[in-house]
């Protein structure tokens, strides 16, 4: 369906194994190259060692380094930044996204279609 050379790279940072697994499986089936991290710290390490992905999906509540801490470090460390979409289970998801200065947000639970439309908004049709 997709030319391997034009595959877009995504980074998904999420501590809940099943959510991470579902997102990775779905996004790969949609033709993305998906890297995963279980917390913010792992995410930063990945970014240090790899080129900037096209987009980052970020969970907020995570052990070791949460979404807020990651966002702060990310903004401080990188000048050329990929858009960040926050995934949160908090009641006021939009406010949390604003706190993290994210580009978009997904309130948990969300559907696969919702992810898709967010991705298209930032990356265009795959």
Partner 1 sequence: MDHLNLIPQLARARHPVSQILWGVVVSGIIIAIESVFWRWLAVSPYVPMPLGIIITSFFGGGLWAGFTATFILSFYGLIFPGSGHWFPSLIFFITGVLGTLLVDLAQNKIRELAGKEIRAEEAERLKFAAAAANIGIWEWDIPKDTLTWDDQMLTFYGLDRASFTGHVDSWRKGIHPEDSAYSNQILEEALYGKTKFELEFRVLNPSGQIKVLKANGYVMRDEKGSPIKMFGLNRDITGEKENLKKMEELKAYFEAALVQSPAGVVIGDAPTGLLRFVNPAALNIAGGDEETLVKGVDINRYARWRITDMDGVPIANEDLPLAQAIRSGETSSTNLIFIRPTGEKRVAYSQTAPVRRSDGSIISGVTVFVDITEQHKLMEELSSAREVAESAMRAKATFLDIAAHELRTPVTAASLLTQLTQRQLEKGEALDKNIIQRIRVQLDRLSRLVVDLLEVSKLDRGVLELRYEPTDLRTLVSDCSSTFQIQFPDRQITLHSSNGSIELMLDPIRIYEVVSNLIDNAIKYSPEGSPIELVLETGPESVRFLVRDHGPGLTEEGQRKLFSAFERGTTHEKTSGLGLGLFICRGIIALHDGTIGVHSAPGKGSTFYFDLPKKKEFKKTGS
Which residues between 43 and 82 bind partner 1 (CB under 8 A)? Answer: 61, 63-64
What tokens appear for 52 in the block?
């900037």
Give me the sign of the Cα torsion angle 50, 56, 57, 61: positive
Report the nearest approach of partner 1 to the CB of residue 121 (Å): 20
Choose among partner 1, Mg ion, none what residue 69 binds, the Cβ cut-off being 5 to 8 Å by kind: none
Query: Residue 73: how many CA atoms within 13 Å on its side-chain side?
Result: 14
Binding region for partner 1 (CB under 8 A)? 16, 18-19, 21-23, 25-26, 29, 61, 63-64, 89-91, 108-112
């Amino acid at each position: 369906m997709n030319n391997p050379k034009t595959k877009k790279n995504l980074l998904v940072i999420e501590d809940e194994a099943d959510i991470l697994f579902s997102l990775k499986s779905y996004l790969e089936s949609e033709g993305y190259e998906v890297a995963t991290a279980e917390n913010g710290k792992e995410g930063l390490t990945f970014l240090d060692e790899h080129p900037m992905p096209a987009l980052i999906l970020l969970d907020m509540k995570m052990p070791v380094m949460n979404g807020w801490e990651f966002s702060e470090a990310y903004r401080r460390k990188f000048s050329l930044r990929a858009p960040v979409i926050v995934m949160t289970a908090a009641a006021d998801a939009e406010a949390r996204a604003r706190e993290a200065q994210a580009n978009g947000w997904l309130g948990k639970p969300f559907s696969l279609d919702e992810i898709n439309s967010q991705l298209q908004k930032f990356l265009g049709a795959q």
